[in-house]
Chains A and B, each alone.
Chain A
Amino acid sequence: MLKQIFYGAASLAALIAAGATGSAAQAGTPADTLVIADKIDDLITLDPAQSFEFSGAEYNLNVYDKLLAFDPKNLGPLVPGLAASWSLADDGVTYTFKMRKGIRFHSGNPVTAKDAAFSLRRAIKLKKTPSFILTQFGFTPENVDKMIRATDDETLVMVTDRPYAPSFVYNCLTATIGSIVDSKLVMEHEKDGDLGNLWLKTHDAGTGAYKLRIWKPNELYALDAAGDYFRGKVAMKHVFVRHIDESSSQRLLLEKGDVDIARKLTPDDIAAIASNKDLKVENDLKGRIMYFSLNQKNKILANPKVRLAMKYLVDYEGMTKSFLRGQYVVHQAFEPLTYLGELKDNPYHLDVAKAKSLLKEAGYPDGFSVKIHVRNAQDRLEIAQSLQNTFGQAGIKAELVVGTGKQTLTVYRARKHDIYMGAWGPDYPDPNTNADTFASNPDNRDEAKLTGKLAWRNAWDIPELTKQTKAAVIERDTAKRAQMYVDIQRKVQKDGPFAIMFQKIIQSAMRKNVNGFVTGGAISNAHYWTVTK
């Protein structure tokens, strides 16, 4: 028996050894195939009515289409998606979309206005997390069948509960939740009245440039070109997105040519490949804002002069030139750059003398003690330590309270912090998403529990700004609307309890021969169909 076991094991080992000879990896990926190394462990559902994660938004962008779209080559104005044209009636509430003709779903079913109506109604009826993006126009599961309807195969009519800025409505329809799904296919898989949610979580019912071949959670998803795509030529016939958790492993795969693009390299790894002639790095601005906020329940922090002084106690330039190099740019307004109504002014810089004199005027010539709540992520900790240092130069003794994301958020949502240092990312590509959280607080009482609004979390009572934010969502003139956001941001920048510091940059490292990889800026995501090799 002993011998048999050993012989068995030895022969298996020999077989493996035989396999190992001459089986070194072949370098390079096929010309019509794109392989991306990324972190996709946040992908928990493929259903566009439910998906609210970064990876989910990117997957959906490539597998589904919306009524309207952003042009990946020019992220400014909206372009036709599955709707060929659209208009708003004089009543300010009736939107009409004319569907593009001759488009088919991956299943072969034709795309009609009925599919569009079904998709939007479904998203509202399912009541999943992102549904608020549509329900803010007054749609409810009860009224939506009446408010959104297909009058014929080519015409979709949508009626909002009151007039909104059309740009606000259109921008929201470009969010993942606005994806149009194959109503026939989805309803074939309905189970217990779930509108096909369980099935669509792991399957595809779209019209996008790519169809799903396989999704293995925490491992990969593979897409195949779906055929002729109405938005343009699709060069990459196959796309593989692999989950590679470790930056060094991503870098090795890229250097060896086993992947075309590595999306999650650390700044160290980015620096290390800078001299490699076969590779290049492309930067793109994303929507995430890094800020710290001052709880207005704290009497000291509620003093306007203290608020202002704190904004002069941040080494904005120093951080972006050292440990945040290549990852963030200095940006001091709450709307991300490239959003409608962006504000590019950066009025603050590190000025300890000015901060000291402001503190003196406020009655704190020797500073004070304060706690900074921060979660245990590398970049945030480094920023918090820098703040601790610069605050200290003006006599403010800051203690860092480090916790997990969930712990820190619990304190923040309960309004029990002094200073919270963290990030905020927009929910949909319209300025209202951030204005509504930074500059709106309709009820400042504790029991109102408006935990989704950062102004409430910091107990900032702003009836006037709240009114202005509300007015901006109904302004029909887009240029005027943009100006309204600029004005609101100026006020928050000058007087608010938020010190907005940076905006995120993502760095995609890729092989030299990869072209046209657009990661979508702050408002959109990576498109695969534009890539050529």
Chain B
Amino acid sequence: MKVKSLKWIVFALFAMLIVACEKNAVVNTAQVTVVLHADGIQEVTEIELKAHDINMNKDYSNSALMITVPVGYYDLSVHALGDGQAIRAYKRGIKVEHDCTIEMEASFVSGDAGFVLAEIFFAGTETPEGKRYIGDKYFVLFNNAADTLSADGLILIEADLNSVQKYDLGDHDFRDRYFAIDAMYRIPGDGNTYRVAPGQMILIADNAMDHTAANANSFDLSTADFEWYDVSSSAGATDVDNPDVTNLDKLYCYTQTIWVPHNQGHKSFGLARFPEGLTAEQYFATDSLYVKYDYEVVTSAGTFSQSRKSYMIPNEWIVDMVNMAPSETFQWLTSSDKLDAGYAYVAPTGSDVTRFGKAVRRKTKVTLNGVRTLQDTNNSSDDFEMGVPANPFYFKN
């Protein structure tokens, strides 16, 4: 009994101390005014201004372009309707010391709104014997629009730049205009072949087959909608082609063997569409989309200048972008932050062995009449659940 009462006394003292502290603490606040630049937009309505305190991990929001927050470091985001269409603006790492005005540029959210990447499984699985298995990677695409859409011509793309190795691109920084790719696989069809109803998913697998025979920890992907098939130059490393499942058109890949999406999650993935009428031949013949750029790699041993050439996808062609980077080793966004202001991950580091069997999955915003609408604020840090057990059919109705 005595002990218990002592506990209470200590607790009370602490509580008093805390209250006293609270009372004494003077929190300086500042007012942040946002000036939104939105080319060609007449009217901006339904404003939601969000300020994320980076150090305290606290969010503040307001429905006007003005917000009062404690001094600190903030990520600012604006979501609004510009002439009735969703627009957004984003700015990272702003130091708020006193009242200030921040200029932000707004852009339309997802020009080709509708399809999103709903689940990405890039890490592969581990066999019961503890060996790596990489043949079961998959992507889940999801129709997030209110209408039935055609998936024909959607292109699955992987970043050429690595999220954990920052390049100092200097004046060559193209990210506001282009996304550099190292793989590009397209859903075939004449424009009306593969139609997807709202709330329906498409499963794209590396190998559309039952993997559980080879690895009990894997899945049966034999019912996948598409697979990517790589004709290998050597019979020693062959890809498996399921004749019952449609292959994606292989437009481009950095390797001449089998494309294995980056298994440590260092590379962003996206969906894109060529503009109406542009053929692959024309794309590959376009000089302005095969870009040489110089950059500097900063390492502990100094700075190394490099040159690189990448095929580029203009940002306007991008339907959805999900930046990927392990949470602790993230260095930079390899796409424009207007496409994706954050990044998704399954593990703190790329080589983390707990990453096997884990995926990133888009959060469900609302389910109405059994039809999901997924969260798509173009900020993967917010939009995704990180490191969930992979389930290729999670979004299956």
Query: Is B one of A's binding partners?
Result: no
Binding site for A on B (CB under 8 A): none
